Amino acid sequence: MTTTEPNTDAPMPAPVGIAARAVRATKSYGSGDTRVVALDEIDAEFEQGRFTAIMGPSGSGKSTLMHCLAGLDTLTSGQVFIGDIDLSSLSEKKLTTLRRDKVGFVFQAFNLIPTLTAIENITLPMSLAGRKPDDSWVDRVITTVGLGDRLTHRPSELSGGQQQRVAVSRALASRPEIIFADEPTGNLDTNSGSEILNFMRQAVDEFAQTIVMVTHDPVAASYADRVVFLVDGRIVHDLASPDRDAIIDQMKHLEVGR
């Protein structure tokens, strides 16, 4: 994969390896007549330190792919790797600790534990691991995301945008190998949404964080280094350094193709 047109001024860290990989990944539900193939022998690689967006029509398998990559769901056949680790070989307990230590999550909604304060939510994976969070790093994340004065608030006392910022901070705070975000801005207004996207972009550029984001929004996808298009459980297009218009073009193309 080559980048012809870097869309930020920040120096691009050289790709040193693959953060996550799917090999002939297949996921199907049911059997016989009612069989639904959500992922159809997908091969994909997600490089370290890059921001990838996954797009596609509803029901095309975006969430399923993400869940399988993240160890939340298991494949029907094929393999997925986080780093060098083959997830299909892991026990449920190992998968859990892998999610805790190597993966970060941002969901569309309901990202936070209502009984915990913002800061407790941010450091949750680390305290679950019984690890002391790296304070200077957490501080840096919080400052970057701009949550300074809201840290001791509970989720119910935060706006939707603030809640998503906490969720992004949580994903970043434990320095996972990869962050998966499923429509993280889907519930937000344009302003809050672009703030979140900026943070993610910043995390990739400044901290060399790897992020995979599912989205329906071409503007959101344009923040990414690369957009993968999914239709009916298959990757149909792979767009590098996308801008909004190119994405919209591609989407129209897909609509017509269907």
Partner 1 sequence: MLRTTLRSLWQHKRRLISTTVAVLLGVAFMAGTFVLGDTLDNSIDELVGEVTVGIDAEVRGPELFDSGFGALRAPVDASLVDTVAGVDGVEDAAGYVQSMSGRILDSEGEALGQTNGAPTIFEAFIPNGDLSGYEIVDGRGVEADDEMVLNRGATDDADLAVGDQVEITSALGRDSFTLVGIYTIKGRDSIAGAVTASFTPTVAQELAGLPGQFQLIYATAADGVEQPELADAINSVLPEDSGGEAITGEQSSEELSDSFSEGLAFFSTFLLIFALIALVVGSFIIFNTFSILVAQRGKELALLRAIGATRRQVLVSVLVEAILVGLIAAFVGIAAGIGLAIGLVALLDSIGLELPSSGVVIAPATVVWALIAGVGVTLFSAMIPAWRATRVPPIAALRDVATDASGTSKVRAVIGIILFALGLFMLTPAFGEAPDSAALPSVGLGAVLLLVALVVLGPVIARPAAKLFGAPLSALRGTPGHLARENAARSPKRTASTAAALMIGVALVGFITIFAESARASIDDQITRGLKADLILQSESFDVGIPLEVSTMIAERDDVAGVASVRQGLVQLTMPDGSNSTTFMGAVDPEVYPEAVEVQMAEGSLSDLRPGGIVVDARQADERDIAIGDTITLTFPTGSTAEVEVVALSEDPQLLGLYTISHEDWSTNVPNQTDGIVFVSAADGVDVEELQASIEEAIEPYVTVIVQDRDEFLGSIAAQLNTALNVIYGLLALSLIIALIGIANTLSLSIYERTRELGLLRAVGMTRAQLRSSVRWEAAIIALLGTVLGVLLALALSYTLVQALGPQGFSTYDIPVTSLVVIVAVFAILGVLASVLPARRAAKLNVLEAIATE
Greatest Cα-to-Cα distance within the chain, rounded to the nearest angstrom = 55
State yes or no: residue 198 binds partner 1 (CB under 8 A). Answer: no
Q: Which residues contact 130 (CB under 8 A, 6 or more apart)?
A: none
Crossing angle, helix 190-207 and helix 160-173, to 10 degrees?
10
Which of residues 112 and 212 has its CB atom nearest to partner 1 in the complex? 112
State yes or no: residue 151 binds partner 1 (CB under 8 A). Answer: no
State yes or no: residue 63 binds Mg ion (CB under 5 A). Answer: yes
Q: What are phi and psi of 238, to 5 degrees?
A: -135, 110
State yes or no: residue 156 binds partner 1 (CB under 8 A). Answer: yes
List the one residue from 61, 125, 193, 233 that touches partner 1 (CB under 8 A). 125
61 binds, among partner 1, ligand ATP, Mg ion, none (CB under 5 to 8 A by kind): ligand ATP
- Minimum distance of ligand ATP from residue 186's CB (angstroms): 9
Which of residues 109 and 116 has its CB atom nearest to ligand ATP in the complex? 109
Instruction: Specify whether the CB–CB gap between 60 and 40 falls below 8 A.
Output: no
Kindly identify the residues of this chain, within the stretch 152-191, that bind ligand ATP according to CB under 6 A: none
The label of the residue with tokens 């994903």 reads 171
- Minimum distance of Mg ion from residue 232's CB (angstroms): 14
DSSP 3-state helix, strand, coil percentages of the chain (rounded to 5)?
40, 25, 35
From CA 77, how far away is CA 229, in angstroms rounded? 21
Instruction: Specify whether the CB–CB gap between 172 and 209 falls below 8 A.
Output: yes
Which residue stretch of 34-42, 45-53, 98-106, 137-145 sits at the interface with partner 1 (rule: CB under 8 A)?
98-106
Tell me the site size for Mg ion, rule CB under 5 A.
Answer: 1
State yes or no: residue 10 binds partner 1 (CB under 8 A). Answer: no
Helical spans, DSSP H, in 30-134: 62-69, 92-102, 118-122, 124-129
H or E segment and range at residue 254: helix 244-257
List the one residue from 10, 16, 43, 59 that touches ligand ATP (CB under 6 A). 59
Which of residues 21 and 62 has its CB atom nearest to ligand ATP in the complex? 62
List the one residue from 6, 129, 189, 238 that touches partner 1 (CB under 8 A). 129
State yes or no: residue 218 binds partner 1 (CB under 8 A). Answer: no
From the number of C-beta atoms within 10 Å of its C-beta (0-12, 13-18, 19+), residue 154 rates as middle
State yes or no: residue 249 binds partner 1 (CB under 8 A). Answer: no
List the one residue from 30, 32, 130, 148 that touches partner 1 (CB under 8 A). 130
The CA distances from residue 133 to 136, 138, 209, in Å, are 9, 7, 17
Helical spans, DSSP H, in 86-224: 92-102, 118-122, 124-129, 135-145, 160-173, 190-207, 218-221
Positions touching partner 1 (CB under 8 A) are: 67, 72-73, 92-93, 96-97, 99-101, 105, 107, 110-116, 120, 124-125, 127-130, 156, 170
Positions touching ligand ATP (CB under 6 A) are: 29, 36, 38, 56, 58-64
Positions touching Mg ion (CB under 5 A) are: 63
